[in-house]
Amino acid sequence: MTERSRQDIILWFFLALFMTSLFMVGWLMWPFLSIIVLAAVVTGIFKPVYQALKRRLRASLASLATCFIVFLVIFLPIVLFVGILSKEAYDLYLMAKNAVLSEELRVLFEKSRILNTVNRAAANFGIEFSGEEINRMISEMGKTVGLFLYQQASSIASNIFKFVADFFFMLLIIYFLLIDGDRIISFIGDLSPLPADQDAKLIQKFKDMAGTILFVNGFCGLIQGIFGGAVFAVFGLKSPFLWGLIMAILAFFPIAGVGTVFIPTAVYLILNERFGAGIFFLVSYVIVSSVVEYFLKPKMVGQRAQMHILLVFMSIICGLSVFGILGIVYGPLIVTAFLTLTDIYHASYQKLVEPE
């Protein structure tokens, strides 16, 4: 056996052992993958806070203080609104269900002079909007949304011990990531066979997208959610907290957004002959969405996360379908990884695989 052959056997044997150990580590940590990913994302968001504290405190104390801030900013609000969300979501489900049974909406639409006027105009084109059809569509939508949110909130409430344990486990990971995150990234980069600049590009893209999805969209969604919930409360509409939360979540979607709630509500108010309230809903939606979507978000995001708006929308929708609520994070991160690897392929490897 030649020296070359012997080295090849040793190399392949080592690679087999290494891949087996890597598979076993992945299998071992798979149940905690969501916690680890969320911890990494939250660490990236709160890293500036840690760095500011580190100028005055030791690294361990600065990390501990940052974890306490994460606890105050994330854990306490979640515990606060899960109970409210569960109750209001179930009330929404019952309200929509009762509306179907009592046919309240159908009666409203059939008596509406606005709808009758629209129907007379649409009849020339062979189109008719019946109160029964609109009643069924809106009520079923309300039942679906309410039941889904109730199930999510109930799942958290019924597994409160697991939720608390997972959150504090995430805080533990954040504590060490803040202190040793740079060393961990260097360790992963040393293991990667890719050039250092390509590793850095992948890591930076992940940081940018995670920060964009959670911080920028979260902040803008919070603004729209608070505003929407306040408007619902001012005009005496039911479940303002629930609808504010729904609008905060919908604000993550770049195409539909809060208009999914604002526009049907405005139509409902106008059909109910509350013209001033309906017009206010439409005008406030246009103003708030325009300011947030076309001024605030672009200014905050800049050029960090360059992804087509349709891809962002599809990644979030598909992520929600596959991973649940965490799909808001996972979907864009997966698409970001694919697009970054595509750029690297075109820049460095395409010429190696294509015939000259």
Residue 20 included in any domain:
no
- Kindly report the length of the chain: 356
Regarding pTM above 0.85, the answer is no
Digit-coded pLDDT (tens) for 145-190:
555 655 655 555 556 677 778 888 999 999 999 998 888 888 877 8
* Displacement of CA 123 from its chain's centroid (Å): 42
Digit-coded pLDDT (tens) for 296-355:
766 665 555 566 667 777 777 788 778 776 777 788 888 888 888 888 888 777 777 666
On whether both 161 and 275 belong to a single domain, the answer is no
Closest of 68, 72, 73, 40 to residue 178, by C-alpha:
40
On whether both 245 and 170 belong to a single domain, the answer is no
| pLDDT confidence of residue 45 | 81
Say which residue the tokens 């046919």 belong to.
103
On whether both 76 and 174 belong to a single domain, the answer is yes
Domain ranges, residue 307: 192-347
How many Å is the Cα radius of gyration of the chain?
A: 26
Specify the number of domains making up the chain.
Answer: 2
Q: In which region does residue 144 sit, left (phi positive, over 0), alpha (psi from -120 to 50) or beta (all else)?
A: alpha
| pLDDT confidence of residue 226 | 87
Measured distance CA(204)–CA(201) in Å, rounded: 5
Burial 320-352 (b: 16+ CB within 10 A, else e): beeeeeebbbbbbbbbbeebbbeebeeeeeeee
Closest of 193, 165, 167, 184 to residue 44, by C-alpha:
184
Digit-coded pLDDT (tens) for 3-46:
667 777 888 888 889 889 989 988 998 888 888 888 888 888 88
On whether both 95 and 117 belong to a single domain, the answer is yes
Residue 2: count of CB within 10 angstroms of its CB: 7
Residue 134 included in any domain:
yes
On whether both 100 and 174 belong to a single domain, the answer is yes
**Percent of the chain scoring above 90 in pLDDT:** 8
Residue 53 included in any domain:
yes
| pLDDT confidence of residue 102 | 47
From 183, 203, 234, give the residue that closes a domain: 183
Cβ–Cβ under 8 Å, residues 323 and 331:
yes
Digit-coded pLDDT (tens) for 218-268:
788 888 888 888 888 888 887 777 778 778 877 776 666 777 778 878 877
From 136, 164, 183, give the residue that closes a domain: 183
Residue 259 included in any domain:
yes
Measured distance CA(15)–CA(10) in Å, rounded: 9
Q: Residues 144, 146, 147, CA angle at the centre, nearest 5°?
A: 65
Cβ–Cβ under 8 Å, residues 104 and 95:
no
On whether both 148 and 256 belong to a single domain, the answer is no
Closest of 84, 96, 95, 74 to residue 241, by C-alpha:
84
From 183, 206, 226, give the residue that closes a domain: 183
Taken in order 48, 82, 152, 240, the sign of the CA dihedral is negative
Measured distance CA(332)–CA(338) in Å, rounded: 10
Residue 2 included in any domain:
no
